[in-house]
Amino acid sequence: MGGIWFTSDTHFRHKMVAGLRGFETPEAHDYEIVRRWNAAVRPEDAVWHLGDVGMGKTDDAFWACVDALNGTKHLITGNHDAAWPGHRDSHKRQREWLDHFASVQALARRRIGEHHVLLSHFPYQGDHTEVDRCGQYRLRDLGMWLLHGHTHSKERRGPFHPGIAMLGAEPQPVMRQLHVGLDAWDLTPVPLHVVEREIAA
């Protein structure tokens, strides 16, 4: 039986994100993302990708990056993915994405250790902008742990909600959400046992 991994925000073919991550070209960025993924994930493993696979354009180079990744890949769509249901014509893109992912959905629920855990591209709170975007597509915090991407933060627990600091109060982490995006984990997917340890702490 293979292992289980979680990640998000690969952002293949995305010049701006490649530059923010210290790469001179999208090609150099994409090569390194695939290299680090495959150094960790085995072909028999399963990976839950929590969205923003790329930047919307799904050309041959984009799909070559996706198909080069080891493991059975399940996608929780992000706002930059053409199959994300927040896009008006997302239903027209489902079939294409299912040719490259074992499943494509907006959210999921999994059991990790003693916890029932939600998977979504978006955190309960937090963004990489001053205002939380896509509010109508975010889950509400009713007590379950949430694994997410989207923020591009290096913070794993939390993240710290910027609005709290703007009101003059000490920033407080949102404790039942765990950021599994590449920016928080050295551009590498996160294994199940690490996620289990983090949410048990």
CATH classification of the domain holding 85: 3.60.21.10
pLDDT of 46 over the 80 cut: yes
What proportion of the chain, given as a percentage, has pLDDT over 70?
A: 89
Instruction: Give me the number of domains the chain comprises.
Output: 1
pTM: 0.90
Which residues span the domain enclosing 178? 4-200
pLDDT band (50, 70, 90) for residue 131: confident
Q: How many residues does the chain have?
A: 201
Do 83 and 94 meet the contact criterion of CB atoms below 8 Å apart?
yes
State the pLDDT at residue 126: 72
pLDDT, tens only, 181-193: 999 999 999 999 9
Between 160 and 87, residue with greater pLDDT = 87
Do 46 and 189 meet the contact criterion of CB atoms below 8 Å apart?
no
pLDDT of 168 over the 90 cut: no
Residue 80's contacts (CB-CB under 8 Å, 6 or more residues apart) are 11, 51, 52, 53, 54, 55, 56
pLDDT band (50, 70, 90) for residue 164: very low
State the pLDDT at residue 158: 65
State the pLDDT at residue 195: 97
pLDDT band (50, 70, 90) for residue 75: very high
pLDDT of 138 over the 80 cut: yes
The span from the CA of 27 to the CA of 51, in Å, is: 20
Find the mean pLDDT for residues 98-124.
96
Closest CA to 150 of 103, 84, 73, 195: 84
